[in-house]
């Protein structure tokens, strides 16, 4: 969901996990001139065609081929559990975005899937506090953003599995704790 806390959560996890790199779907938006406009004059940014998804897949595959040379800078890790400390052979990629699970070529890559949800009113409130380029036009949230969220969420629920749904109204600390704990458990399973 837009303004659900995806980037904030990814950046906080990056600081807590060893050799962690993030890729953001937002970095793959096409320029405004290449984004379609509907009959109401809304730029259609909340659809897969507004993104260079093939380039995103290529970036992920390039990282997977050589994670150690991806430019990951190991920072002083905060609150890292003992099983991950001093683990030089661990490389973690966090991919965050709003249409990741609706793009079939990506679906075979995920070890874990998290989906942040927000109720309509909270989402609209948060969206109204953000500044976008180009700026949201009047009626854009109700006329395009929210309907596309519902459309893609329904597709996701019909076609994808193994998704952990997270309540985006919870505090950043609660969300971070939940996802971090889940990643640690997944990591332990993978090492077995």
Domain 6-190 has CATH 1.10.10.60: no
Q: What is the pLDDT of residue 69?
A: 75
Mean pLDDT of 23-33: 96
CA atoms within 13 A on the CB side of 159: 13
Mean pLDDT of 161-188: 92
| Domain range summary for the chain, segments of one domain joined by + | 6-190
Q: Write down the mean pLDDT value for the chain.
A: 89
Q: What is the pLDDT of residues 36-95, one digit of tens each?
A: 999 999 999 999 999 999 999 999 999 999 987 765 554 544 555 555 555 567 789 999
Contact 57, 106 (CB under 8 A): yes
Catalytic, 26? Answer yes
Cα dihedral value 106, 109, 113, 116, nearest 10: -30
Question: What is the three-class DSSP state of 108?
Answer: coil
Q: What is the pLDDT of residue 165?
A: 94
* Strand 113-117 to 163-167 pairing: parallel
Longest CA span, the chain: 56
Q: Of residues 26, 38, 142, 167, which has the active-site annotation?
A: 26
Q: What is the pLDDT of residue 74?
A: 47
- 93-102, 120-129, 155-164: least confident range: 155-164
């Amino acid at each position: 969901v837009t303004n659900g806390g995806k980037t904030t959560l990814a950046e906080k996890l990056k600081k807590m996990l060893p050799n962690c790199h993030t890729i953001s779907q937002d970095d793959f938006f096409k320029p405004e001139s290449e984004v379609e406009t509907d009959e109401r004059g809304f730029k259609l940014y909340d659809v897969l065609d507004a993104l260079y998804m093939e380039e995103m897949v290529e970036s992920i595959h390039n990282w997977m081929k050589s994670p150690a040379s991806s430019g990951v800078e190991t920072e002083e890790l905060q609150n890292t559990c003992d099983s991950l400390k001093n683990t030089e052979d661990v490389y973690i990629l966090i991919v965050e975005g709003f249409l990741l699970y609706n793009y079939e070529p990506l679906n075979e890559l995920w070890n874990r899937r998290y989906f942040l949800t927000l109720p309509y009113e909270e989402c609209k409130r948060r969206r109204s506090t953000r500044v976008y380029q180009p700026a949201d036009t009047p009626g854009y949230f109700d006329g395009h953003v929210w309907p596309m969220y519902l459309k893609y969420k329904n597709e996701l629920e019909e076609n994808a599995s193994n998704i952990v749904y997270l309540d985006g109204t919870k505090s950043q600390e609660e969300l971070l704790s939940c996802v971090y704990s889940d990643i640690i458990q997944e990591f332990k399973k993978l090492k077995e």
